[in-house]
Structure 1
Amino acid sequence: MKRLKTLLHSGLIGISIGMIWIAVEAMLSLNIQSIKTGKLPLTTFLFWLVASFLIGIFFNLASWIFDNDKWSLRKQIIVNFFICFVPWILFCLLLNDFNYTWHSLVITIFNFIIMYAIAYGGYFFRLWLDIKHINEQLKKKG
């Protein structure tokens, strides 16, 4: 039950990141001229809503690699990066009907690095805050 709650929480975080991402993409595609004239079909919005939820769950599942205490943090991050990178590229290829140019591939890689930095930057920031809190509690007791 706890794992299901964690997956649901990760999916909701994925939605929030995805909606911010789609808002930025929409503003950039409009050249920030007039948000009122921009339109987003409901089916497109729902697709990105579900996709963002699933991406959030995927990032949570991919973070299980960090439970392996036998590996160094560097090795865990590198393995996790590529575990996430391969499905991301395949997902983007699928969205573009497997038609790709070098330019679109570079944009896809850049987008992935940004999403990875947001997802795991938040994860490591939260971890840092938890460690800071634990250290403060230990100082109070000691």
Structure 2
Amino acid sequence: MTTLLCEDLLGEDADVLVIEKIEFSPEAPEPGAEVRMVIGGVARQPVTDGAGLDVLVKMGQVKLHQERLDLYECIRAGSLAVEGLGPDGTIEPGPVTLTYTRTLKRDIPLGKFRVSIAGWNGGEGDELLALELTYESRK
């Protein structure tokens, strides 16, 4: 059995993206399967070029995966779909929905994982968002 849940929204009131909801599909992803995370919220100011996300996956104290993602490169590559883009292709102030799709590795061990995501806006580097997720895979 597998569970995936948003454990904590760590964002500040001053974050560029105020998260209002997070949904996962499927709710219980299996190793090797595609997982989709939909983040809905409101952009308080434009999300500028250079915005990015740091993703860290840990099992206990062991770091399993770490990557830095450029938000607009992900949009151009198709791994991140955005509802709420302005005419120039940037995320404008107002309602926004981010949909991130990824295929999980087949060789994921059984256990509990913590996924930390911290984002920053381009330009001055204001905090974009921050959240913690838990993924648990067990028999």
Structure showing greater radius of gyration is 1
| TM-score bin (small chain) | under 0.3
TM-score of the aligned structures, taking structure 1 as reference length? 0.25
Greater fraction of residues in helix = 1
Q: TM-score, normalised by structure 2?
A: 0.25
